[in-house]
Homo-oligomer: A and B are copies of this chain.
Amino acid sequence: MARPRSEDKRSAILAAATELVAAQGLGAPTAKIAKQAGLAEGTLFTYFENKDDLINQLYLEIKTDLRDAMMANYPAHRSLADRARHIWDRYIDWGVAFPAKRKALSQLGVSGRITTTTTDASRSAFCEIEALMHESLATGPLKDQPPAFVVAIMESLAETAMRFTTSDPAQAERYKQAGFDAFWRAISMK
């Protein structure tokens, strides 16, 4: 019966947090985040219990956003290589289009403040991708490694490709292509 909690405001906080965490790291003050979201300092805490809660929800939000970007128009019935390429391209495109999200995510990842609950939720959101990787290595050289290892390899190579793209945007396409090729060689049969 009172003013309902607004999804817009929650999103504004997450968006502001993304920008500020990307720029300043986890030290970004909640007061600054709230202000940038156009809200009073205290309002942030009606949407998030405390800073750790905000951080964890932000992590999940960005990861989910990334997953959605990767899975949009996913060519489920094409070849393994096509699907892998689709995932890779979407990943890179997302990272280049939203550098703040990408940076924030890596800050959050190394922060040591993401709880197991959050990482579990995140992992489950990526199960289709994990399944793809699992399939990809069935007969390949990494067949004895856990699928998560292949996922991690992809992430780290993509991260590298994005970093080089960011500092040298003219060569974006080249890094995207070269990165995927390297990845594909890394996990495929010769």
Q: Which A residues form the contact surface with B (CB < 8 A)?
A: 2, 23-27, 40, 42, 106-107, 110-112, 141-142, 144-146, 148-149, 152-153, 155-157, 159-160, 163-164, 174-175, 178, 181-183, 185-188, 190
Q: CA separation between A22 and B76, bound complex, in Å?
A: 41
A141 touches B110 (CB 8 A): no
A178 touches B26 (CB 8 A): no
Q: CA separation between A155 and B156, bound complex, in Å?
A: 9
Copies assembled? 4
A190: chain B residues within 8 A (beta carbon): 185, 190
Q: CA separation between A186 and B187, bound complex, in Å?
A: 8
Q: CA separation between A171 and B182, bound complex, in Å?
A: 24
A144: chain B residues within 8 A (beta carbon): 174, 178
A153 touches B142 (CB 8 A): no
A110 touches B112 (CB 8 A): no
A152 touches B160 (CB 8 A): yes
Q: CA separation between A156 and B156, bound complex, in Å?
A: 5
